Amino acid sequence: MNQKFLDFMQNYKGHKLAVGVSGGVDSVCLLHWLYEIKADVVCLHVNHQLRPEADTETEYVQNICHNFNIPCHIFYWQDNKPESGLEAAAREARYKMMTDFCHDNNIEYLLTAHQSDDQIETFLMNLSRGSGLYGLAAMLPESERNGIKILRPLLNVSRKEIKQYCEDNNIKYFVDSMNSDEHYTRVKIRKNRHLLNDDLGISDSRILLAVENLSRTRQWMDKYINARIELVIRSWGTMFSADFLFDEAEEIRLKFLGLLIQKIGGDEYPVRLNSLQKALSNLKSDCKFTLGHCTVRRLNDRILIVPEGKRTSFRKRHDKRKKDI
């Protein structure tokens, strides 16, 4: 078994866990390792009903869980399938079903089988889109989605290591036919990634080091911004001085404003970057607009954000305010 996986899981001993298992090599290996360390785990499998072999994979995952005496819950994606953005829609549906299950069953942690090759591919995909810090920091070992903590215990384990383990232990797994479909950007990157090393000398280890460095910066920013949001809500409710926003660097402004709007508006997903950039531009002077199910208003040196439909009066917004920020 992989030592990096064992080290990661030390922090989650004794916790009830859920794990997403597709039937592919990464998730099947993860399920075996969780069984070997005797984790208290329930298996979640989503059948997207997109491929002829999907039902066979579902049956295989059920059989593994039966042999391991691990509870297994199967979900079927029965919504209409979009003609474009299918991969993203399937991912959103999968996470929604799994995190809903975790909420319903008081499970705090959901494990996924993303590994280091997935991390590199995510970085390169986001690089091609011109992403900022948060996109280039790629996936975190622990994050949150729909109020559930997402754990990625294989993020420092390579696809090669995982395949080798399965072959050495005669562990069967399925290969998703969509993994060879070059209509998907991730597949194109996967098939051509070797050129970075072969032609330019940019190794996987160097890319992962860059992601790790960016991730540390992202985690610091998250901590700083969340503290600022807590300060606003604790001291003034939903109103703060314009300087409190505009004295920060633009990357922090964007993230602060986006998270605050998401928190106040109650949206499941963050506001899009281009909408946030437009909002920041508007907030340089007096204005009023809606965004993310919130009404945002600036008057003189004050900014107010309230749920859409609520009053936007600046008078006595918070009877218990402590001080001017």
Residues 180-193: tens digit of each pLDDT: 666 777 888 888 88
Q: Is the torsion defined by CA of 155, 156, 161, 167 positive or negative?
A: negative
Model confidence over 4-49: pLDDT tens digits?
999 999 999 989 999 999 999 999 999 999 999 999 999 999 998 8
Residues 6+ apart with CB under 8 A from 276: 254, 257, 258
pTM, two decimals, is: 0.80
Q: What percent of the chain has pLDDT over 90?
A: 60
Q: What end-to-end distance do the CA atoms of the chain give, in Å?
A: 52
Per-domain residue ranges for the chain?
Answer: 3-202, 237-307
In terms of Cβ atoms closer than 10 Å to its own Cβ (0-12, 13-18, 19+), residue 142 is middle
Architecture of the structural domain at 237-307: 2-Layer Sandwich (3.30)
**184 DSSP assignment:** S
Domain 3-202: CATH superfamily is HUPs (3.40.50.620)
Phi/psi-derived region of residue 141, left when phi > 0, alpha when psi is between -120 and 50, beta in every other case: alpha
In the numeric block, the tokens 């002829």 are attached to 52
